[in-house]
Structure 1
């Protein structure tokens, strides 16, 4: 649908499941076993994230029109009148303001929510254009898309008791920042390298030396792994044994059967390849967490089914296209 292309749904939908992981692990930490009673809370938090993601997509498209036109990239805003573009942005901002009225009793949640929006604006707008400032672009995109939204979720869930769970909150926020913010954007920039060169866009990948990129990428990966390990430790590492085991088997199976190669930052050219850990973070971990919790409480199967339909079914169709397997 045109609307889905307009809000660039495919660029951020796959980033929602890790936020669900945060919410599920919060429920586990505070011993909430009946997720069905929390479905409205989950939907409320997802709604806030989606509104923010739509704003990030629109403001990025708004300021990227000239570059996308030069690179031949799809940008629906190019075909719209300026007044229509501004109306779309204003409507999204009004949705964000309306959503904020539900956060007025939680100052931290309100501040963290809007800090994400500010980062998106600074990242895209012509006055600052941090997306073309190499390291600043990587950092601010991660802050806007992952770090502050994660803090918003935790601030909303924990409320006044957030101080008692700082190790859990900080390690989870840093993991999201380095995995889905910084590493994900670096991978995206490698995929967009030719388009960025064609449009004359300066990014971390196009403007830094190979030595500089290598050192920074190593730092990003190490912090991602370390923060995730600490995050596991703050809950109960035993619950991660099964999903990790499933992922290891999947890695071996895909490599042996389909000759899939794996990478951390730079996609392998001219062959099928997957970025390491992302399938685990986005698909296996949320699915297995819900599966384990459904075994403890049968009523959680409802949420498991909804999660599969919203996230795992699209993943399945993407996998069919990826492997070029046609369903019989």
Structure 2
């Protein structure tokens, strides 16, 4: 029960970090987004309210830090995520405009350090020694996936950034030069993922096999599966369905077989990602040739 509640608390701590990331990114990008006519979440607020929201997000992060004062390693990882995104967004550092430094900072802040934080904190809470091998493979996997995420985002925004001379890694790199890079990054990610899954039992592997079958379904629907670089036709990002839906659900089911209370996590997962899950189910129906029912039509 204690571990279950602690996991929920860690999720809240990461959510607090995500709030800071969203606000600091919008706050520092505001003038660029206005120039490129791109939507910005802070645009509707006056300058004083923008600063107040940013301050509140910082104080929320500080509040969570107090709960990890005795767990120094986890606290370092938690603060490192904040530092990474601060360096990414805030001038005069603003790694976002410094090529590969921006890519590394975003991948570290969004995936690497949060993954380290959760793993380290759970080990501390369970009174087990830090497993360097486990942390290493989690680090390789999360960092590689983080690289794919930020590179996808930057190349997706490439034309907007070029239009206002906003320099990023993607604006300095032509898409055609990324083919080998995206294959290497994804290959490393999958190898690390398999190493992680080898320790988690059979259900996540079954979910992975199901995902492989889904890839053929996407091909049937003429939806291209991309690694990083988007396509002019319909596309979906490789492994996104597995990471967002199939893997979490398989892990929750596996945990609930021993601890039924863990099924509560399934409720939280559905609550946090309703549109993602609904879209996934809708796509599965299309793959099977089942027409949309009124539930989907009304959604």
Identify whether the pair has TM-score above 0.5, normalized to the shorter chain.
yes
C-alpha contact (below 8 Å) 2:36/2:163 kept by paired residues = yes
TM alignment of 1:1-328, pairs within 5 A:
38-159=3-124, 161-163=128-130, 165-179=131-145, 181-210=146-175, 213-233=178-198, 235-236=199-200, 238-256=202-220, 258-269=221-232, 271-311=233-273, 313-319=274-280, 326-327=296-297
CA RMSD of the aligned region, Å? 2.4
In the TM superposition, residue 236 of structure 1 has moved relative to its aligned partner by: 4.5
Distance 1:285 1:320, change over 3 A: closer
C-alpha contact (below 8 Å) 2:197/2:205 kept by paired residues = no
* Structure 2 gap ranges (5+): none
Q: State the number of aligned residues.
A: 287
C-alpha contact (below 8 Å) 2:84/2:109 kept by paired residues = yes
| Higher normalized helix content (fraction of residues) | 1
C-alpha contact (below 8 Å) 1:134/1:208 kept by paired residues = no
SS of the counterpart of 1:77? coil
User: Which digits, 9 at most, give the CA deviation of each residue in 1:58-82, with x for residues without a partner?
Assistant: 1111111111011101113234333
SS of the counterpart of 2:225? strand
User: Which digits, 9 at most, give the CA deviation of each residue in 1:232-273, with x for residues without a partner?
Assistant: 23x1463432111211222222322x222111111221x221
In the TM superposition, residue 49 of structure 1 has moved relative to its aligned partner by: 0.5
C-alpha contact (below 8 Å) 2:225/2:238 kept by paired residues = yes
**Greater Cα shift, 99-108 or 283-292:** 283-292
Whole-Å separation in 2 of the counterparts to 1:321 and 1:135? 37
Whole-Å separation in 2 of the counterparts to 1:254 and 1:221? 19
Distance 1:89 1:217, change over 3 A: same
In the TM superposition, residue 44 of structure 1 has moved relative to its aligned partner by: 0.7
